[in-house]
Amino acid sequence: MNAPVLQAAAVHKHYRIGKQEIPVLRGIDLSVQPGESVALLGASGAGKSTLLHVLGLLDPPTTGEVRYDGVPVHGLPIGERARLRHRHVGFVFQFYHLIPELTALQNVLLARMMAVSALGYWGQRKAAKAAAIAMLEQVGLGARLHHRPSELSGGERQRVAIARALLAEPRVILADEPTGNLDSHTAAGVVELMFGIQRDRGLALVLVTHDERLAQRCHRIVRLADGVVVS
Amino acid sequence: MIAAFSPFLAVRYLVTRRINLLGIAGVMFAVWAMLVVDAVFTGFVSGIRRDVRTSTTDLLVTDLPHDTGYERLREAIEADTGLVAATAPRLRHHGMLQRVRQPQRRVRTQGSSQVDFDHTENGFALLVGIDPVREEAVSGLRSWLVRGPEELAQRYPGDFWSSTVLDEPDLERRSQLRAKDEVEWAARRRSNLPAAKNVQQHRADMPGVLFGWQRIRRTGALPEAEPFDLLVAAVGSDNQLRSDSDRVQFAGCFATGHRMFDENAVLLPIETLRTLLGLDSFDPASVDLVTDIAVRVRRDTSASALVAGKQRLQRAVQALLPPGSPPCSVLDWEEQNLVFLSAVAHEQAMMQFVLFVVMLVAAFVIYATLHMMVVQKVKDIGIMAAIGGSPAGIGAVFLVGGFTVGAVGALLGIGAGLLSVQYLNPVNDWLFANFQVELFPRTLFDLREIPCDLEPSWIAKVGIGAVLLALVVAFVPSRKASRMNPVQALSHE
């Protein structure tokens, strides 16, 4: 059997506020196989988003291990973690997190600029632009390439965020309540898009949500309460 | 290696924030000011140094004891044939000059005695006794006499005739700077001084004096051989203060370019001055007194050879001075004007410091705008981190921003500086012609035009310095951005 594409082993995460240690994750074990979709379900404050950040190497665990393809990665140097994050995972956030000064196309292109030098990018800029346009067309935004986030609807913004997450061809999508800020109709469209791409590309998906119905669409549901996996 | 997203985002951030124009404008203004002001100052200083150089001999043997004679020292100095090309004696003293007036023009202040001294026209002078024949060989005396009337003619109306005393074939007359017989006769008649009945019987006998052109500015144009009374006071061998006077005639005007020298100095035959000081050249016991000896060195003398030669001359001269004499000095042209040149250099350094402060202000503007940008873009920093931006790459966004502001400002400043230097004089002329406004009042420094000397090395220093300074101040916000916690940044409101 292949190693899990993403794994958390006995992950603890504490935050220190003043002299007080606040435990947020308490011994989380989680394995995600390639092509598998996992929903993290739980009440607010259960530690879902923190776990997602730890899995995406945005936040190091206090103790425990994060492994990509079976290799511990949480202790790598910060620059190496950033490169690995770029190659291995793509984030989709509830509030889209697009850069307001950039157009939809530039926001997506940014994902291609993260791990190459300025000179290196110059040589591949046309190919990168073509790939970004193709990705935006795939998410249905072929006509909105040069619009800034402020000129796009919520659903369109989230599609841009999905396109950006996918452009670097990651193996895992980490989605933090991707429909939490959308009306139900728009949310349905975004969900369809996300699951369709995940299925077509064989990507692993870790989806943080409050929505039981959305969670049911995943292969597996992991419920968290007070920083512990309860089922 | 700079990640591709860093310059990309830096440029986007800059072009969407007009406040960055303030930083660019600040750097531009500072670079412009540093180039233009320093160009004028450098041109001014270069001109001063050039003028001081032409007014000064290669070497000057000075700080000699009170009663030093020239001949013995001359032999010792000229014996150094590898270094010395020529020497000339100089005797410095202070005196007073008074134009001889016609009796009916005399104005006497009520209640005063016989004093009728008009210090606005003439007055105290640094008398420099020279041997004109020898002096020509060590200094630019001949060219000074050409330049004097030229300087005056360019500024004032009047008959500023060129002196021909150095063209006098009779060495005796030349060494006395005497005027032609007929010229002196006419001057005596003009001033009601005793003169032969007709010009053919007259033999000129008044020694000549040469005025700096700055003195002529005060007296106005003087006719050839205009008589003056020269008064000298000195302490005699009996330790009593005694004075003596002689009647001299105006033999020409000089301009060395050294403003203070041209304003204060009056050149006269050294024998005339010695006689006034009580040293009769016909007295065998008399000393051929000098205070300094001017030396011209051979043209092929290297700087190191000059340094060694100075020490050699100092030892040779000192050996001839009475035992226990304080050490004499042998000064090159810069040492002769050390105080003046140091003051000018210090002034230039102070000016550069002030302009550097202007640059610092511009740098603080860059710092403030970049710091504000980091604060405003906290969420973007989290986004960059989430999609794989390394801390170094995130920091580089703001570092590149600072670099861009500095580089664009420096380039614009250099362009504006080059244009300003190119058109400074026409613009100054135009402003004066139309509005009677002068950016740089040329009359203040007796300049025919505003001197500008913009050195490429200075342009490079200022440009690179501006960019480096921008990078230094951008480092702090850049470091702040690179050390930001991405999770906290993403949740920043």
| pLDDT tens, position by position, B334-361 | 888 888 888 888 888 898 898 889 888 8
For the sheet with A63-68, list strands across it.
A20-32, A6-17, A63-68, A71-72
Nearest Cα residue to B249 out of B209, B203, B205:
B209
Please tell me the distance from the alpha carbon of residue B406 to that of residue B462, in angstroms, as a whole number: 11
For A166, the closest chain B residue by CA position comes to B387
What would the two tokens of residue B16 be?
Answer: 């969407």
Residue to substitute from A114, A160, A176, interface B, most B β-carbons within 10 A: A114
Give residues with Cβ within 8 angstroms of B68, minimum separation 6: B287, B289, B290, B291, B321
| CATH number for region A6-229 | 3.40.50.300
**Whether residue B189 is found in the same domain as residue B325:** yes
| pLDDT value of position A145 | 95
Mean pLDDT of chain A: 91
Query: Residue A88: its chain B contacts at CB < 8 A?
Result: none
Query: Where a domain ends, among B308, B336, B364?
Result: B336
Query: A230 vs A4, B347, B445, CA distance in Å?
Result: 21, 79, 91
Nearest chain B Cα distance for residue A194, angstroms: 18
State yes or no: pLDDT of A64 exceeds 90: yes
ipTM over 0.95: no
Give the model confidence (pLDDT) of B22-68 as tens digits: 889 999 999 999 999 889 888 888 888 888 888 889 999 999 988 88
Give residues with Cβ within 8 angstroms of B442, minimum separation 6: B448, B449, B450
Q: What secondary structure letter does DSSP report for B202?
A: -
| Residue in this structure with the two tokens 């061809």, named with its chain if needed | A169
| pLDDT value of position B47 | 82
State yes or no: pLDDT of A188 exceeds 50: yes
State yes or no: pLDDT of B109 exceeds 60: no
Helix B338-376 / helix B20-55 crossing angle, nearest 10 deg = 170
Mean pLDDT of A139-153: 93
For B4, the closest chain A residue by CA position comes to A118
B135 touches B88 (CB < 8 A) = yes
Domain tally, chain B: 2
The shortest CB-CB distance from A53 to any of B6, B379, B487 is to B487
**Whether residue B121 is found in the same domain as residue B244:** yes
Query: Where a domain ends, among B296, B318, B336?
Result: B336
B83 touches B487 (CB < 8 A) = no
**Whether residue B246 is found in the same domain as residue B291:** yes
The A-side interface with B (CB below 8 A) comprises 53, 56, 58-59, 78-79, 82-83, 85-87, 90-91, 93, 97-99, 101-102, 106, 110-118, 120-122, 164-165, 168
8 Å CB contact of A101 and B7: no
The shortest CB-CB distance from B386 to any of A58, A117, A118 is to A58
| pLDDT value of position B113 | 46
Burial of B381 (0-12, 13-18, 19+ CB in 10 A): buried
Tell me the domain boundaries of chain A.
Answer: 6-229
Query: Residue B5: its chain A contacts at CB < 8 A?
Result: 110, 113-114
The shortest CB-CB distance from B5 to any of A56, A78, A114 is to A114
pLDDT band per the 50, 70, 90 thresholds, residue B443: low
**Whether residue B329 is found in the same domain as residue B420:** no
Q: How many residues does chain B have?
A: 493
State yes or no: pLDDT of A93 exceeds 80: yes
Angle at B178 between CA B207 and CA B143, to 5 degrees: 105
| pLDDT value of position B115 | 46
8 Å CB contact of B4 and A83: no
Containing H/E element for B126? strand B123-130
> Any idea which of A170-184, B114-128, B248-262, B450-464 has the lowest mean pLDDT?
B114-128
Containing H/E element for A196? helix A184-201
Query: B486 vs A55, B60, B430, CA distance in Å?
Result: 14, 74, 60
**Whether residue B161 is found in the same domain as residue B191:** yes
Please tell me the distance from the alpha carbon of residue B144 to that of residue B180, in angstroms, as a whole number: 21
| Residue in this structure with the two tokens 């939809």, named with its chain if needed | A104
First to last CA, chain B: 32
Query: Where a domain ends, among B279, B310, B336?
Result: B336
Q: How many residues does chain A have?
A: 231
The shortest CB-CB distance from B2 to any of A87, A115, A117 is to A117
Mean pLDDT of A46-60: 92
8 Å CB contact of A53 and B7: no
Query: B199 vs B100, B202, B203, CA distance in Å?
Result: 21, 5, 8
**Whether residue B239 is found in the same domain as residue B271:** yes
8 Å CB contact of A110 and B7: no
**Whether residue B346 is found in the same domain as residue B329:** no
% of chain A exceeding 70 in pLDDT? 100
Query: Residue B8: its chain A contacts at CB < 8 A?
Result: 106, 110, 113
Query: Residue A99: its chain B contacts at CB < 8 A?
Result: 9, 12, 380, 383
8 Å CB contact of A79 and B5: no
Q: Which amino acid is at B218?
A: R
pLDDT band per the 50, 70, 90 thresholds, residue B446: low
Residue ranges of the alpha helices (H) in chain A?
48-55, 78-88, 104-113, 118-138, 154-167, 184-201, 212-216
| pLDDT value of position B118 | 52
Give bridge partners of residue A90 from the DSSP assignment: A173
For A109, the closest chain B residue by CA position comes to B5
| pLDDT value of position A216 | 92
pLDDT band per the 50, 70, 90 thresholds, residue B112: very low
**Whether residue B213 is found in the same domain as residue B84:** yes
B209 touches B232 (CB < 8 A) = no
Nearest Cα residue to B490 out of A155, A6, A93, A206:
A93
**Whether residue B130 is found in the same domain as residue B217:** yes
> Any idea which of A201-215, B80-94, B120-134 has the lowest mean pLDDT?
B120-134
8 Å CB contact of B383 and A82: no
B178 touches B203 (CB < 8 A) = no
Give residues with Cβ within 8 angstroms of B434, minimum separation 6: none
Mean pLDDT of chain B: 88
The shortest CB-CB distance from A168 to any of B380, B388, B392 is to B388
For B378, the closest chain A residue by CA position comes to A99
Please tell me the distance from the alpha carbon of residue B439 to that of residue B36, in angstroms, as a whole number: 12
Mean pLDDT of A182-197: 88
**Whether residue B210 is found in the same domain as residue B293:** yes
Query: Residue B383: its chain A contacts at CB < 8 A?
Result: 97-99
At B331 the three-state DSSP class reads strand
pLDDT band per the 50, 70, 90 thresholds, residue B111: very low
Containing H/E element for B356? helix B338-376
Nearest chain A Cα distance for residue B394, angstroms: 10
**Whether residue B41 is found in the same domain as residue B188:** no
Mean pLDDT of A102-129: 92
Cβ of B181: how many Cβ atoms within 10 Å?
A: 17
Please tell me the distance from the alpha carbon of residue B350 to that of residue B354, in angstroms, as a whole number: 6
Residues of the domain holding B310:
57-336
Give the model confidence (pLDDT) of B209-265 as tens digits: 999 998 888 788 899 999 999 999 988 777 888 889 999 999 999 998 888 889 899
What's the pTM? 0.73
**Whether residue B108 is found in the same domain as residue B169:** yes
